[in-house]
Amino acid sequence: MERMLVVVFDNETKAFEGKSALRQLEREGDLTIYAGAVVTKHADGTAGVRQYDDFGPVGSLVGTSAGSLIGLLGGPVGVAIGASSGLALGALVDIGNARVGEDFVADVSKTLTPNKVAVIAEVEEGWTTPVDTRMETLGGTVLRRALWEVEDKMRDEKIAAMKTDVAQFKEEMSKAHEQRKAKLKAMIEQLETRIDAQAKKAKADHEAFKLRQHAKRELLKKNAAAAGKALKELAKTPL
């Protein structure tokens, strides 16, 4: 399953040990890492990326769910990545890009307190025991969330809320005077347009998801250690 994985440690030494342990688990075939970074929460509450360039086959954080989550944790000013890169995450990040719910961001923020360090990674994980066991041995606190399912849930809730409004406005129309009916009709049409747009976006996103899954299958085929377990898990993913 495609997941966001966050492991919070008390210090950088343990965090880098955790990062190395994740790479070892990848070599052993227990997960595949697509993108990730080691992130420090400073005493003033700001966040900084300590390392990212050699973490996972995708490499760059830009455009990934991991990068978006890090941007959200860094607040409105973003997070600087590296002393010389000039790259920042966060300014244009929203919860949809991260593909995790607000509750997950809140849980991570609550756990990643000042002076603590987290390993954040976008992974394919067939089962959770290997990571949990290894990280807990190192003193890490593990948080994880499935990615695609959250986006579907958020969109479904948004559409359901708009449909509720449409139903209420239609009920009001049956009792309203002509001038009010015209206003309600305009509001209903606007909402129905938005519902249609959300439905079209869902279809487009689903197609993009299929393409992404195909690309990741190809990547996993090149990772001989992880292919056996992860491909079996991907095969169960509905397209």
Percent of the chain clearing pLDDT 90 (strictly above):
20
22/60 same-domain check:
yes
**pLDDT value of position 54:** 53
Beta bridge partners of 48: 40
What residue numbers bound the domain in which 53 lies? 2-146
Number of Cβ within 10 Å of residue 13's Cβ equals 11
Domain final residue, candidates 146, 169, 190: 146
Q: Are residues 185 and 206 in the same domain?
A: yes
Assess whether 102 and 211 both reside in one domain.
no
Residue type, 148: W
Q: Are 140 and 22 within one domain? A: yes
Say if pTM beats, i.e. exceeds, 0.85. no
137 and 170 in a common domain: no
Same domain, 177 and 65: no
Q: Which residue has the higher pLDDT, 197 or 60?
A: 197
pLDDT at 185 over 60: yes
Q: How far apart are CA 28 and CA 172, in angstroms?
A: 62
pLDDT tens column, 104-116: 888 888 999 999 9
Q: Rounded mean pLDDT of the chain?
A: 76
Residues 130 and 218 placed together within one structural domain of the fold: no
Could you read off the pLDDT of 126-139 as tens digits, one per residue?
788 899 999 999 99
Please indicate, yes or no, whether residues 54 and 96 belong to a single structural domain of this protein: yes
Please tell me the total count of domains within the chain: 2
Domain boundary among 146, 179, 214: 146
Tokens of 115: 């002076």
Q: Are residues 154 and 57 in the same domain?
A: no
* Residues 136 and 28 reside in one and the same domain: yes
In sequence order, the 6+-apart residues with CB closer than 8 A to the CB of 96 are 151, 154
Identify whether residues 84 and 166 lie together within a single domain.
no
Domain co-membership, 123 together with 196 = no
Residues 60-92 as b/e (b if ≥16 CB within 10 A, e otherwise) read: ebeebbbbbbbbbbbeeebbbbeeeeebebbee
Which of these three, 126, 146, 166, is where a domain ends? 146
Better-scored residue on pLDDT, 37 or 78? 37
The DSSP bridge partners found for residue 21 are: none
